[in-house]
Structure 1
Amino acid sequence: MAEADASQMNNMKDAGISTLHIYAMLANQAGGYENVNYTLRNMYNEIARRRRHVLGDARAALRYLKNQKAEDTSLYYEHIVDAKGVLRALFWCDGRSQLDYEVFGDVLAFDATYKKNKYLCPVVVFFGVNHHNQTVVFGSALVTDESKEVYVWLLQQLLAAMKGKAPVSVITNGAPSMRFAIETVFPNAHHRLCAWHLIRNATSNVGNPKFTSMLKKCMLGDYEISVFEQKWFGMVEEFGVAEKNWIIDMYKKRHIWVTAHIRGKFFAGFRTTSRCEGLHSITAKYVKSQYNLVDFIKHFKRCLTYLRYKEVEADYVSISGLPVLKTALEPLERSASNFYTRELFFIFRPMLVRAARMKVVQDVSFDSFVLYTISKYGSLNSSWEVSVDNERTKFNCSCLRMDSFRIPCEHIVCVLVFLNILERQSLLC
């Protein structure tokens, strides 16, 4: 192959195009396969020759990251080896990921995906959610095993890369090694088990769709703890599963998966690591199972570039034009549309709609705050309490959703309407 053709082929390979498709494109440029001076086998030989120049895959990956650090001085990477000097774990995150973590790192989720490289090493992705409710990647790792020791090391590297900032909340699929690492490295973080994994486990352990449906309601329902207990034991008795080990174990761990126990802890709307499942599907478009470590890191970087471009697109959508106002509470809706990003506004707007069914039935003044009792139209047996300080700058609701989502609930919106507050940007934070 001529050097120009080899260079063009290598550039296309770096963009994720298969060798077969590259050959077809080069043949098309030449006016037909008969005009190409080399065969497909010659291309494969050139690729093999290029790889043979690499001293060793692990060392090449470390050398690549070292070269990248010359361009991005904030890039952080570390690795550990076993007793034989074989790479056991490699962690890295670039400067942009560190900036994202500084802003959005209060909630952290991580999960492992498999068969994304030629060694079949698990790939661990640390991620969160940004101001557009999009997945944002904080760091990545390649590991040869998922032991407690390795996960502890990974979280320690994440903590070091992020200058000691620990997350407020963490979501995982419930693997014992992950849970141990969180308790060791982030002892003050709220740990939540992924609802999606729990529902899938219920299907495999009990195998009754009706039970799975009831479990989902128990898990995600916005109940008081006493109501959850009543529903849980009623469900267990109805399906006769009280003696199942999985049921017994799940009840023991209820404080890390039941919404009734988690209410008031900030998770930014996270209930599952299913975002990671979506991230895996996007990653699969950029990385292939035959990639070595260097190729994997290069193409995973392309995946991050795509995700960051989607954030730029969402930024543009949020600042260009205004959404059509649909509720009767037009001043509050307009204020929210100007303050929130477009996606968060669409999450908040249903609160305005639901607030129409709420009313203030009582208000009691104290020295530093006023306590409002809220009832739902047609259901006077249900009530919530909203406290408002005398400066009207701090609102708290007994439903605790403001603490969990950082978005005002319908009960707080009801009080805003009662007080004739037309806009409240400080509250919308």
Structure 2
Amino acid sequence: MTEPEARPDVASTGDVGTPGWLPRVDMLFDSENDAYEFYNTYAENLGFFIRRSTLWTTSKNIVTRRTFVCSREGFREKKKGAREVKSPRPETRIGCQACMTIRLTPNGRYRVTEFEPNHNHQLATVSTINMLRAKKMRRKARAVRADLVDDSVRTPEFETEDEAYEFYSMYAGRIGFTVRRASMTLSAESVITRRMFVCSREGFRENKKGSKRVKKPRPETRTGCPACMIIRVMPNGKYHVSEFVTRHNHQLATPSSADLIMSHSAETSALDDELGQVDLLSDEKDRDNQDVNLLSDENKLYPRPLKTMRSGDVGAIMQYLQKAQEENPSFFYGMQVDDNDTMISFFWADSKSMMDFTYFGDAVCLDTTYRLYGYGRPLVLFIGVNHHKQAVVFGSAFLYDESVNSLKWLFETFKVAMGGKQPKTILTDRSPVIKEAVAAVWPGTNHRYCVWHIYQNAIEQLSQAFHGSKTLSYDFSRCLFDYEDEEEFILAWNAMLEKYDLKDNQWLAMLFEDREKWALVHGRHAFYADLKSVQQKDTLNSELKKHLSLETDLLCFFEHYERILGERRYAEVQADVHANHNARKLPSMRILKQAASAYTPAAFKMFEREFELYMDCMLYSCGEVGTISEYKVTIEERIKDHFVKFDSLDLTATCTCKMFDFIGIQCRHVLKVLDARNIKDLPPHYILKRWRKDAKTGGISSNCCIPIGDDPQSSLSKRYGNLCRIFSIAAARAAKTMDSCTFVENQSDLLIDQVEQVLRTRALELPPLITSSSDRPQNPIDNVIAGNFRYDKMNQTSFVAHSNGLLSSQHSHPTICWGQFPARLPEQ
């Protein structure tokens, strides 16, 4: 947490006699620890000691109320069965009433609600306080550090406390001293809010009882060195260096011996290599006076680290992928390796996932909630919505590396798995790395930030503010999900900041700057398929995260993954049966009867709501030009009016609310216009097939794109892959009943004969295939060991090896893929 700023309502440093040092009601503090430090300083100067007393917390251990009391408050409890002690401790508690109480406010800060300054005992004098060694050393060290802080030193922000420790260790290794972790401050949720790293010679050795009887005492090493680095957590969750003292009171190690000190370990040497030509140090003779530039490029020095991979995880993943492909030849998977041939990313998708993407892949959400909740393993899901508004999984991945190259590889591999098709809209978390990867790989896809992810991040970033107010969550949700007009949205946002005193919140300020990527008013032109409402109700992540800890065996996770996926797909089958065999009486109104017959129950519910609301709309004609008429549609409780353009030639209508573009269900405003024009049937082009009961019927080949390239070898591989995808979808559909399965089997011979006739009439276009030797290992793990893949490191060109032996080149990171194709090659 940040320290209180020097303003009238916040504590500020000064002499004890000044009003700023005296606690008073309505003072504000950024955290409970800041209030404690302020009251403790006040007590030290006044002549008493304090302790934390009663507190009230929420279910998430956020302190909502805390009382700090004089150490002599209350009375010592007499324990049952306690025997009389020969030399009892002196009684110190005498029921002193002095205290200070703070409460959590709606803006996440703490306000002093009660202050009692009077004591019922004599206070210690200043000279008595100074005689206490602990307090004396504490104030002395604090004063020395305050005088020696070097404000000219430029330091980075850190994601974690460990990164800050590694950074200071590297600096110490270059200078010539060792470091250690010193004091720290924890929040109510056991999060480190303040940490102090010091020189190993900081402080003094304590005199323990019996230490004089030691024959060979250890040499004294601590000299009270003031050199230190103090970090504090900021509102954005990162750690900021608040104090940096470069002065030492002892001789530093020489550069020749600096390599031997423990802080300058092999890990630090690796960081040194990354620094390249960054100059950390000035000349030795000018160390105390010259500015030290610790970092010239934060991103180069601190790339996002690889996630921890437990020993045996690679073997477990390969075992699952190999078994899945043996059971289903259409199963697709890919792996990414780095320059050291270490596997860092895995992607997989089965035939059902690819078939679902064929029908419902217009809007995709990249679910990376493992970043927020800290799962043990970095599971990434490509999620969409089917025609029943149920969440479906298009693909899954373990992403141990979060660099731009790895994310590019992930999007490229997903595109290959889906036959070259990419979504119209992709929703992701707010991340510049993801933003860069999407723009590079899917330039034609509309990239939006997922408001559900933003809301989950807000719960973490504004946790105290959310728990300090019962209405902030509602107002923030409305800003995310409800406002369609830009002016209305900005007014509501500013009103929220004013109401909850959040104008100075940096996280909200940065979020508002990115509003064009997530605000509803700026994104209604992109098709969302109502993903936001599905994510609010869906529990897929909560079901999977239970089995992603590092303590859980990865094969056990895959068992639960398959079970959960199977349960959800069975629920889709049940929804199909319910939609097609629903005995519910159809509505009497003509347009509702049409919608109920075409839409699934979930989609019809959305349409029915709009139909009911159109009754409250009032229609005004704004003129007519040729076949195009314009109307103004108003609603009493709505300030904003909507305008509809209707073309009587082809019965097309466009509304300024853009609901049809956004969700795919026609809005109440257009329905009002159709009713005024005496059109009692909804035009067919306004019933999207993705919301129909028969969404998964019809031609398959129309949904699968067959790319045409200049490379004959690559074209053959891609054509072969697309045909396998088409027939895998047909097989999945035909396998549902015995009659359809028998029909496909009977037609297969006829189809093969017709293909042979086409081949005889045209010249065969098959070039020589690139194949490996006949004795190559068939096991994917053996392929990795044997090195049956190759890539050109100079051009970063990888070869994606499929199980049929075809190799196709792709410009990406070095990659191995065993994809969805049968083990036999087509005969030439």
Q: Distance in 2 between matches of 1:220 and 1:86?
A: 43
Q: What corresponds to 1:170 in structure 2?
A: 426
Q: What corresponds to 2:518 in structure 1?
A: 257
Q: 1:415 to 1:400 in 2, by over 3 A?
A: same
Asked which structure has the greater CA Rg, the reply is 2
Q: Distance in 1 between matches of 2:475 and 2:580?
A: 42
Does structure 2 retain, via aligned residues, the 8 Å contact 1:78–1:91? yes
How far the C-alpha of 1:311 sits from its partner, in A, is 0.8
Does structure 1 retain, via aligned residues, the 8 Å contact 2:361–2:423? yes
User: Does 2:653 align with 1:395?
Assistant: yes
Q: 1:114 to 1:203 in 2, by over 3 A?
A: closer
Q: What corresponds to 2:674 in structure 1?
A: 416
Identity %: 28
Does structure 2 retain, via aligned residues, the 8 Å contact 1:128–1:137? yes
Q: What corresponds to 1:267 in structure 2?
A: 528
Q: What corresponds to 2:218 in structure 1?
A: none
Does structure 1 retain, via aligned residues, the 8 Å contact 2:389–2:534? no
Q: Distance in 2 between matches of 1:414 and 1:99?
A: 37
**Which structure 2 residue ranges, 5 or more long, are not aligned?**
1-310, 689-828
How far the C-alpha of 1:419 sits from its partner, in A, is 2.0
User: Does 2:350 align with 1:94?
Assistant: yes
Q: What corresponds to 1:74 in structure 2?
A: 330
Q: Distance in 2 between matches of 1:289 and 1:397?
A: 51
Q: Distance in 2 between matches of 1:282 and 1:203?
A: 20
How far the C-alpha of 1:287 sits from its partner, in A, is 7.9
Q: What corresponds to 2:577 in structure 1?
A: 316
Q: 1:150 to 1:272 in 2, by over 3 A?
A: farther
Does structure 1 retain, via aligned residues, the 8 Å contact 2:391–2:538? no
Q: What corresponds to 1:17 in structure 2?
A: none
Q: What corresponds to 1:354 in structure 2?
A: 613
Q: 1:354 to 1:84 in 2, by over 3 A?
A: same
Q: What corresponds to 2:699 in structure 1?
A: none
Does structure 1 retain, via aligned residues, the 8 Å contact 2:449–2:518? yes
Q: What corresponds to 1:129 in structure 2?
A: 385
Deviates most, 281-290 or 143-152: 281-290
Q: Distance in 1 between matches of 2:554 and 2:461?
A: 37
Does structure 1 retain, via aligned residues, the 8 Å contact 2:368–2:429? no
Does structure 1 retain, via aligned residues, the 8 Å contact 2:383–2:392? yes
Q: What corresponds to 2:490 in structure 1?
A: 229
Does structure 1 retain, via aligned residues, the 8 Å contact 2:655–2:670? yes
The correspondence of residues 206-221 of structure 1 with structure 2, limited to 5 A, is 206=462, 207-208=465-466, 209=469, 210-221=471-482
Q: Which has the higher helix share?
A: 1
How far the C-alpha of 1:395 sits from its partner, in A, is 1.8
Q: Deviations over 1:204-246 (max 9, x none)?
A: 4441534443332222223321222233334334444333321
Does structure 2 retain, via aligned residues, the 8 Å contact 1:172–1:273? no
Does structure 1 retain, via aligned residues, the 8 Å contact 2:363–2:425? yes
Does structure 2 retain, via aligned residues, the 8 Å contact 1:173–1:273? no
How far the C-alpha of 1:362 sits from its partner, in A, is 1.1
Alignment equivalent of 1:428, drawn from 662, 680, 687: 687
**Which structure 1 residue ranges, 5 or more long, are not aligned?**
1-54
Does structure 1 retain, via aligned residues, the 8 Å contact 2:376–2:548? no
Q: Distance in 1 between matches of 2:509 and 2:396?
A: 35
| Amino acid corresponding to residue 280 of structure 1 in structure 2 | N
Deviates most, 313-322 or 276-285: 276-285
Q: What corresponds to 1:278 in structure 2?
A: 539
Alignment equivalent of 1:406, drawn from 654, 664, 670: 664
Q: Which has the higher contact order (CA 8 A, sep 6+)?
A: 1
Does structure 1 retain, via aligned residues, the 8 Å contact 2:377–2:549? no
Does structure 2 retain, via aligned residues, the 8 Å contact 1:287–1:299? no
Q: 1:140 to 1:199 in 2, by over 3 A?
A: closer
User: Normalization by structure 1: what TM-score?
Assistant: 0.77
How far the C-alpha of 1:137 sits from its partner, in A, is 0.5
Q: 1:60 to 1:146 in 2, by over 3 A?
A: same
Q: Distance in 2 between matches of 1:372 and 1:416?
A: 11
| Amino acid corresponding to residue 616 of structure 2 in structure 1 | R
Does structure 1 retain, via aligned residues, the 8 Å contact 2:629–2:646? yes
Root-mean-square deviation (Å): 3.0
Deviates most, 367-376 or 59-68: 59-68
| Amino acid corresponding to residue 562 of structure 2 in structure 1 | K
User: Normalization by structure 2: what TM-score?
Assistant: 0.41
The correspondence of residues 357-368 of structure 1 with structure 2, limited to 5 A, is 357-362=616-621, 364-368=623-627
